Amino acid sequence: MSNETNRSDGRTGVWFVGARGSVATTTVVGALAVHAGLAEHTGMVSELPEVSAARLTGIDRLVFGGHEVAEGSLAKRAEELRAGGVLPPAVVAAVAEELAAVDARVAPGVPPGSVSQRAATGRIEADLRAFRDEHELDRVIVVDVSSTEPPVADDPALNDLDRLEAALDDGGAPLPGSSAYAYAAFRAGCPYVAFTPSPGPRPPALAELAERQRLPWAGSDAKTGETLVKTVLAPMFAMRALKVRSWSSVNLLGGGDGQTLADPVNAASKTATKAHGLEEILGHRVDGPLHIDYVPDLGDWKTAWDMISFEGFLGTRMSMQFTWSGCDSALAAPLVLDLVRLVARAHERGEYGPVPELGFFFKDPAGAGGHDLSGQWDRLVEWCARDTR
């Protein structure tokens, strides 16, 4: 499906914020496995002909590194993911050596609550520049796959780049953790992928910085499970003029992500991005709860149940329910690779600011473009085809 011949020769860096989390680990193991011919391209959108048309960089041209605040190692997390049924034993064994090499490139991250952010972001920026130089990379894409942060209160310093710079000069710490990484990334000339619902590059001051640095970015919050299904089912009801009366959703998940989201303060970002799409697609408010529950027993395997009550001709009441049983990391990892390749291509083409054509991948797409998956696909394909015309 891929068209290797068109790909550029240089190498692209992938720098994870949250480099030893489940998503980052699965991504690295998966990329090494694909490269070694031990795994297929299943789940990789960028290998579909309509998308690979954009002449994307090869998986074998990616070099991984990242920041992490937790102890442990990629090997240890890979072992946990193996025990949990996410990673195949044979693959983990086969890539052990290369995985250790990536682990050696993981630098200490910035824990939340640092006092002066000028110094902290300076250090992150230096790490990024050093990574790019040392490996002679064409570019480095920073991907935030760290724990979800709470939504951020409105702050004038986040709305204007000059005020932000002044606040940082004053020794302040106005940036949420994820935005500190985004700030440093943009300063270092790196495109950015907001895979989580955390603020990251979204406050206006950061969007302004990306613009000024002529850097593309994509976000927010990858659409991998129940929300993905929602964005094909809701348009179905709309196209058929069926009136959705209530839509109730429950998400049960374990794992590190589940633990973070068990805190309602952190979950607030997630429930907000998850809710966006439905009402936008249907054009009206819809009743019904949206739960995210931490059930440790389930590990990386998420079970979501949705119950939709709707009305048809002559007021007839009907319903539909679905259960989604997915492995979150296995769904997320190939999308990380897709996004890295696509954002790298946008950078190469000289595009900058949020890339609305990548809305296909996100629960809360930055830039215009809507939530309907099929419309998002059409826009993505059109964007990819630009290269071949």
Q: Is residue 331 at the binding interface for a copy of itself, with CB under 8 A as the rule? A: yes
Q: Which is nearer to ligand NAD, 53 or 128 (CB)?
A: 128
Kindly tell me which of 207 and 304 has the beta carbon lying closer to a copy of itself. Answer: 304
Closer CB to a copy of itself, 152 or 253, in the complex: 253
Q: Does 248 bind a copy of itself (CB under 8 A)?
A: yes
What residues line the site for ligand NAD (CB under 6 A)?
17-18, 20-23, 67-70, 109-112, 145-148, 177, 195-196, 221-222, 224, 255-257, 260, 328-329, 331-332
Q: Does 39 bind a copy of itself (CB under 8 A)?
A: yes
Residue 55 and residue 6 in contact, taking contact as beta carbons nearer than 8 Å? yes
Min. distance of Cβ 224 from ligand NAD in angstroms?
4
* Residue 302 contacts residue 252 (beta carbons within 8 Å): yes
Q: Which is nearer to Na ion, 198 or 376 (CB)?
A: 376
Is residue 349 at the binding interface for a copy of itself, with CB under 8 A as the rule?
Answer: no
For residue 377, count CB atoms less than 10 angstroms from its CB and return exposed for 0-12, middle for 13-18, buried for 19 or more. Answer: middle
Tell which one of 115, 316, 350, 368 touches a copy of itself (CB under 8 A). Answer: 316
Q: By CB under 5 A, which span of 61-69, 138-146, 349-357, 370-378 interacts with Na ion?
A: 370-378
Of the candidates 364, 362, 359, which has an alpha carbon nearest to the alpha carbon of residue 383?
359
Contact 327, 172 (CB under 8 A): no
374 binds Na ion (CB under 5 A): yes
Scored b (16 or more CB within 10 A) or e, 188-225 reads bbbbbbbbbbbbbbbbebbbbbbeeeebbbbbbbbbbb
Q: Are 230 and 117 in contact (CB under 8 A)?
A: no
Using the structure block, give the residue that is written with the tokens 């310093």. Answer: 157
Hey, is 300 helix, strand or coil?
Answer: coil
Grouping H, G, I as helix, E, B as strand and the rest as coil, residue 204 is helix
Q: CB under 5 to 8 A by kind: which of a copy of itself, Na ion, ligand NAD, none does 358 bind?
A: none
Q: Which of 60, 318, 386, 388 binds a copy of itself (CB under 8 A)?
A: 318
Distance of closest approach, residue 239 Cβ to a copy of itself, in angstroms: 5
